[in-house]
């Protein structure tokens, strides 16, 4: 084992990367608080069934709460939410916080000073996977409120292009934190023995070419024709218009699917559908936006299928958004399929659903 003195810790990295930005040291301090929360969550998640509360199973007779999305909150969703709130609310760095697990923004307790940043997070992403020991994660986004006063709801509704930092942690075989402050995307691996995140993935680049896609294919019948076209062409492999074989991967933990794409390339999508929610499943403010910034900063692309995710003007704290992200060329191809569909020029591709699903015709959506 090398305990080299030359290793770059996450704290050192953010302090250095932000040293010339106005208010950069406050942002660095906030990111270090977020890191403390992530270390605590990593430790709890790693205990698995050894720790009473380290399961997300809701017992038959335990009280069930649901979040604003109508999803049952497990004990770990709630515990990790508390950890994020209380590691970050005390230091005079944030003006308020928004969490997947809380309908309303969290107000900073009156005894603490307010800072200028807004922190938005999904404390435990992929939490339905935890009981069978599949990787889960934490996703966060930082916006600049610009003043040290209590924010209104509208203050949070900034497009993702205005994020000043974003990141995720993946609690897998190793705990890895991937971070951007708008100057590239960097990965840090938690060294459990010394309790520090160490820079291990410098300037991550999403490969442009890929032969992997990630999508919940059980929803295929609910997608729009452009997405059906894309996946059917991938599935047709060498014998189809793409003239090469593709692989499909779906972990159902966005952090794990996105992390694979960071390293290996690929395209990830939770597209628009006509299942329960036209905008798919993922949440703009604390899932799509931070992942979009991280992917773009790594040279990839992130789209709704019809436009850049980071340009979306949010309408609500918990709004959902269609997501297509990863290797740039594939994302661009999926955008083109949407354009062709919207313009009615996507023939000669013949989807079996093309003419039957009138709901999907552009004129029917107006």
Contact in structure between 298 and 205 (CB atoms under 8 Å)? yes
d(CA 331, CA 353): 22
Axis-axis angle for helices 75-88, 24-47 (nearest 10): 150
Query: Binder to ligand AHG among 57, 113, 194, 252 (CB under 6 A)?
Result: 252
Residue 346 within binding range of Mn ion, rule CB under 5 A? no
173-179 contacts at long range (C-beta below 8 A, 24 or more positions apart) = 175/38, 175/39, 175/42, 175/46, 176/200, 176/201, 176/259, 177/10, 177/35, 177/38, 178/204, 178/259, 178/262, 178/294, 179/10, 179/14, 179/31, 179/294
Q: Which is nearer to ligand AHG, 268 or 337 (CB)?
A: 268
Residue 259 within binding range of ligand AHG, rule CB under 6 A? no
d(CA 188, CA 339): 38
Choose among Mn ion, ligand AHG, none what residue 81 binds, the Cβ cut-off being 5 to 8 Å by kind. none
HSE on the CB side for 35, CA within 13 Å?
26
Q: Which residues, 20 to 49, sit near Mn ion by CB under 5 A? A: none
Nearest distance, CB of residue 127 and ligand AHG, angstroms = 4
Per CB under 6 A, which region of 121-129, 164-172, 181-189, 203-211 contacts ligand AHG? Answer: 121-129
DSSP label at residue 151: P
Nearest distance, CB of residue 18 and ligand AHG, angstroms = 28
Q: Which is nearer to Mn ion, 106 or 337 (CB)?
A: 106
d(CA 151, CA 157): 11
Q: Which is nearer to ligand AHG, 13 or 270 (CB)?
A: 270
Choose among ligand AHG, Mn ion, none what residue 285 binds, the Cβ cut-off being 5 to 8 Å by kind. none
Q: Which of 343, 330, 107 is nearest to 211 (CA)?
A: 330
Contact in structure between 157 and 313 (CB atoms under 8 Å)? yes
Q: Which residues, 72 to 111, sit near Mn ion by CB under 5 A? A: 100
Residue 126 within binding range of ligand AHG, rule CB under 6 A? yes
Residue 127 within binding range of ligand AHG, rule CB under 6 A? yes
Residue 125 within binding range of ligand AHG, rule CB under 6 A? yes
Residue 122 within binding range of Mn ion, rule CB under 5 A? yes
Residue 187 within binding range of ligand AHG, rule CB under 6 A? no
Q: What is the DSSP string of 78-123?
A: HHHHHHHHHHHSSSS-EEEEEETT-SSPBPPPTTSPP-SEEEEEEE
Please count the residues of this chain forming the interface with ligand AHG, following the rule CB under 6 A.
13
SS3 130: helix
Residue 125 within binding range of Mn ion, rule CB under 5 A? yes
Residue 312 within binding range of ligand AHG, rule CB under 6 A? no
Q: Which is nearer to Mn ion, 151 or 290 (CB)?
A: 290
Residues at the site binding Mn ion, with contacts judged by CB under 5 A: 100, 122, 124-125
Residues at the site binding ligand AHG, with contacts judged by CB under 6 A: 71, 100, 122, 125-128, 216, 252-254, 270, 281
């Amino acid at each position: 084992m090398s305990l080299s003195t030359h290793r770059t810790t996450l704290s050192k990295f953010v302090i250095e990367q932000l040293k010339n930005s106005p208010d950069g040291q406050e942002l660095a301090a906030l990111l270090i608080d977020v890191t403390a929360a992530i270390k605590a969550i990593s430790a709890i998640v790693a205990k698995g069934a050894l720790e009473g509360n380290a399961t997300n199973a809701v017992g038959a007779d335990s009280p069930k709460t649901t979040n604003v999305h109508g999803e049952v909150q497990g004990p770990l969703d709630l515990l990790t939410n508390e950890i994020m709130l209380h590691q970050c609310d005390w230091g005079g760095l944030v003006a308020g916080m928004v969490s997947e697990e809380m309908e309303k923004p969290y107000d900073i307790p009156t005894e603490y000073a307010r800072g200028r940043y807004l922190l938005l997070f999904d404390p435990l992403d992929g939490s339905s996977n935890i009981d069978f020991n599949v990787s889960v994660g934490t996703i966060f986004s930082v916006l600049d409120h610009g003043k040290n006063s209590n924010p209104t709801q509208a203050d949070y509704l900034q497009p993702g292009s205005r994020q000043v930092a974003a990141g995720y942690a993946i609690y897998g075989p190793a705990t890895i934190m991937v971070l951007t402050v708008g100057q590239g995307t960097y990965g840090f691996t938690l060294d459990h023995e010394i309790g520090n995140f160490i820079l291990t993935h410098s300037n991550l680049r999403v490969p442009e070419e890929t032969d992997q896609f990630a999508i919940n294919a059980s929803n295929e019948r609910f997608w729009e024709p452009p997405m059906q076209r894309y996946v059917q062409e991938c599935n047709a492999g060498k014998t189809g218009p793409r003239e090469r074989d593709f692989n499909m991967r779906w972990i159902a933990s966005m952090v794990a699917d996105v992390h694979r794409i960071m390293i290996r390339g690929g395209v990830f999508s939770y597209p628009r559908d006509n299942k329960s929610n036209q905008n798919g499943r993922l949440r703009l403010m604390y899932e799509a936006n931070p992942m979009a910034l991280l992917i773009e900063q790594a040279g990839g692309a992130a789209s709704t299928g019809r436009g850049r995710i980071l340009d979306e003007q949010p309408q609500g704290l918990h709004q959902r958004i269609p997501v297509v992200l990863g290797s740039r060329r594939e994302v661009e191809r999926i955008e083109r399929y949407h354009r062709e569909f919207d313009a009615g020029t996507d023939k000669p591709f013949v989807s079996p659903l093309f003419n039957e699903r009138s709901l999907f015709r552009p004129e029917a959506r107006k």
